[in-house]
Amino acid sequence: MRDFLIAIYEKFLRSVAQIPSNTVTTWRNDVFPLSLWLLLAISILTAILFYFFYNRLYSSYNSFGSWFRTFLLNGFITGIVAFIITYSAFSKAFKPVLTLSLWYAVINLLYGLLLFFVLSLIFKWFSTNGRKTPF
């Protein structure tokens, strides 16, 4: 798990900014795991709501436009949630990790988009109205 988190988050963060050495433990123990779980939870919940709730209530929700808006929304939510997690973790000394936190939010946004896309490809097969969404 730890290696997985390092692979998907830390390596990416290190490639765009310097992680202060005194914060590495907090990132690894607090920020990454919570972000990942929330990323999964939010994306799954959004996909479920999209495919099995809104699509059942409103057939027009299965348009590509609706899917794309939900896709972006999911990305932004996961990004914002990641930023809030870092802020909570480093609230006493947030300024040194601000840039890093923003990059971290962007990474989560991208992962959110990717995950929602993958979940869409799975969930659509089980949705009556959304089985052709996004394509």
One of 64, 68, 94, 126 touching other proteins (CB under 8 A)? 64
Q: Tell me if 120 contacts other proteins by CB under 8 A.
A: no
Q: Any idea which residue has 């998907």 for tokens?
A: 8
Half-sphere exposure of 109 (CA within 13 A, CB side): 13
Residue 24, judged by CB atoms within 10 A of its CB (0-12, 13-18, 19+), counts as exposed
In the list 4, 58, 68, 94, the residue contacting other proteins (rule: CB under 8 A) is 58
Confirm or reject binding of residue 14 to other proteins (CB under 8 A): no
In angstroms, what is the minimal distance from the CB of 114 to other proteins?
Answer: 23
Residues 27 and 100 sit within 8 Å (Cβ to Cβ): no
Q: Contacting other proteins (CB under 8 A), which of 18, 29, 60, 88?
A: 60
**Residue 72 CB, nearest distance to other proteins (Å)?**
18
